[in-house]
Chain A
Amino acid sequence: MAVESTTIDRKVAERPPASLWRDAFERLLKNRLAIVGGIIVILLVFLAIFGPFITPYGYAQTDTSLVREVRGPANPGQGGHLLGTDDLGRDLLSRIMDGARISMTVAMVVQITVLLIGVPLGAAAGWFGGRVDNFLMRITDITYAFPDLLFIILLSVVFKDTWFGKAVDGLLLVFVAIGVVSWVGVARLVRGQMLSLKETEYVEAARAIGVPDRKIVTRHLLPNSIGPIIVAITLGIPGAILAESLLAFIGIGATPPRASWGTLISNGQRWMSSEPHLLLFPAIAIALALVSFTFLGDGLRDALDPKLKGKQ
């Protein structure tokens, strides 16, 4: 005993205290793509929050003198507009920044909705099993099988003129609609985690010392599923942003003069041949956001997967 104790003792003394999360974070830092993705994500979030305070123009502010001068959209650099203006003389950079605001809000609100619906539902299904599981999973299947786009379009048509359809510049409806159809993946993931984790020996050990079921779920099962949940949520964000842009592209969502990236693209498309920058810059913004969230998500998955531990 003495020999074992002293050697281990020494090893520990040389090592900084480490937790699973710290280890995961260190692994994440080693992943360059994920870091690039993370930095762009942070940048986007920063722009979404502070963008409107940085730009000298409001997203709805029209530069009438410039419009009169160029008779149409201004090119990048023209009249002090870094990315040019649209056909109404509105600064494109400011509009993209406001678009970032919409996209980031979508990302956040939708994923919170997904968490609030998906995690409890999946946890209940996995923990109780049997009939509860069957019932909840059938609901999940139905939601999954339901055509998302149709559902969202129906929802926005039905609620178009109610307070619900108009709240938050018409965005609340979009948030809820996207959230309500996208929790399925997380619910299934959490259920699967619960099913496998509740058979683990440390859960059996927890039972054997008389830990009540509620605490087994909250202290032992959920913390162990947090890794995959974080990954799923991060990787779900591009989907949500894309869905919102798609809806904006076909004219559902933010009410003018607010413009989501999708609206900007839809607008830019009309000028594609003569003024390609109106299409290009919003498209770049979307692509950048999607790619960086995906990189970050992939990096998180590799970092949080305990099976990959030490293999890098």
Chain B
Amino acid sequence: MNQTSDNTPVVEMRNIKKHFGAVQALRGVDLALHHNEVLGLVGDNAAGKSTLMKVLSGAYIPDGGEILIEGKPVTFANPMDARRQGIEMVYQDYALANNLDVAGNVFMGREVTRLKLGPLGVMNFSYMEQETINLLNRLKIDISSVKLKVERLSGGQRQAVAIARATAFDAKVIIMDEPTAALSVAAIDKVLELVQELKEQGASIIIISHRLEDIYRVSDRMIVLRHGHKVSDTSVEGDIHEFRERVVAYMIGARDDFADRIVAG
């Protein structure tokens, strides 16, 4: 189901650099994500995965490099900028307000009003609730009522709400930071099914995970980062054992496909 007509990547990051004090977190990383592709992003702790994604989602401003969305250069000053350009991030800790209900969380910060009075606008509950019901149905997420407070949901359900929320507003790209961390085995299965469902519906997804079997199961392609460099960019293939060995070799530095990079001062 690959569109050969549209070869422009939906997102392209070129030579992204970012440092925190003396620590060089990203040393010039390139990344491209194509339409309807699931890209796995792996690497050891402090390899720069989360930093790279926070740059893409507008949470960090890079020191160097450029970001293109569908071929057009963009700059993000904050997460809302990125979101307006169709970049949605699902945070590791779900970033949900537990005291609000499911519909309230899906529409948090983007409440729909039936009386537009700025901040005193009156919310249109029936519209938001109905849209949330439709959204959950479309993604086959099983939650009994959209009026349930999030604090009453299981970990897997919360992650599903967080992902649904990211897809609710015609996102071009959905970034998931460790979507399966802190979940039970059954819940992990559900979340991965949800990722596959999203791909079938045409979404483009970047997924960060420590769990290589998750990446293997849902990703089309995989990028490995190490010490702020990209060391591998290949499609996901072969059997799981061979895949795992290969990834680990990149992660620990035994292999590097880009070893001939020019080391900038």
A binds B: no
